[in-house]
Structure 1
Amino acid sequence: MTIASRLMHHLDSQGIPFDTVPHPYAATASECAEAAHVPGDHLAKSVVIHMEEGPLLAVLPSNHQVDLSALQSMMDRRLGLAPESEMRELFDDCALGAIPPVGDAYDLPTVVDNSLTGLDRVWFEAGDHQTLIEMRGKDFDMMMKDVKHGAFCCMH
Structure 2
Amino acid sequence: MAIASRVQDYMDQHGLRYDVLSHPHSHNSMETAQLAHVPGSCLAKSVVLEDDDGFLMAVLPSTHHVQLGRLSKELNCRLRLATEDEIGRLFGDCEPGAVPPLGAAYGMRMVMDDSLADHPEIYFEAGDHERIIQMSRETFMAMMDMEKASHVRFGEHNWRHH
Q: Is the TM-score greater than 0.5? A: yes
Structure 2 unaligned regions, length at least 5? none
Which residue of the partner structure matches residue 68 of structure 1?
68
Provide the C-alpha distance between the structure 2 equivalents of 1:35 and 1:67, rounded to a whole number of angstroms. Answer: 27
Which residue of the partner structure matches residue 106 of structure 2?
106
Report how far residue 74 of structure 1 moved. 0.9
Secondary structure of 2:88's counterpart equals: helix
| Contact 1:118–1:138 (Cα < 8 Å) also in 2 | no
Provide the C-alpha distance between the structure 1 equivalents of 2:137 and 2:58, rounded to a whole number of angstroms. Answer: 18
Residues paired across the two proteins, number = 156
Report how far residue 119 of structure 1 moved. 2.3
TM-score between the two structures when normalised by the length of structure 1: 0.98
Tell me the percent identity. Answer: 44
Provide the C-alpha distance between the structure 2 equivalents of 1:153 and 1:118, rounded to a whole number of angstroms. Answer: 14
CA deviations on 1:66-91 (whole Å, 9 max, x unpaired) are 00011001110111111001100100
Which residue of the partner structure matches residue 58 of structure 2?
58
Which residue of the partner structure matches residue 132 of structure 2?
132
Secondary structure of 1:117's counterpart equals: helix
Secondary structure of 1:2's counterpart equals: coil
Report how far residue 53 of structure 1 moved. 1.4
Q: How do 1:3-42 and structure 2 match up within 5 A? A: 3-42=3-42
The amino acid that maps onto 2:117 is T
Report how far residue 104 of structure 1 moved. 1.2
- Structure-2 change in CA distance of 1:130 and 1:119 (3 Å): same
Structure 1 unaligned regions, length at least 5? none
Provide the C-alpha distance between the structure 2 equivalents of 1:74 and 1:85, rounded to a whole number of angstroms. Answer: 27
Where do 4+ consecutive residues of structure 1 move more than 2 Å? none
TM-score between the two structures when normalised by the length of structure 2: 0.94
Q: Report the aligned-residue RMSD.
A: 0.9
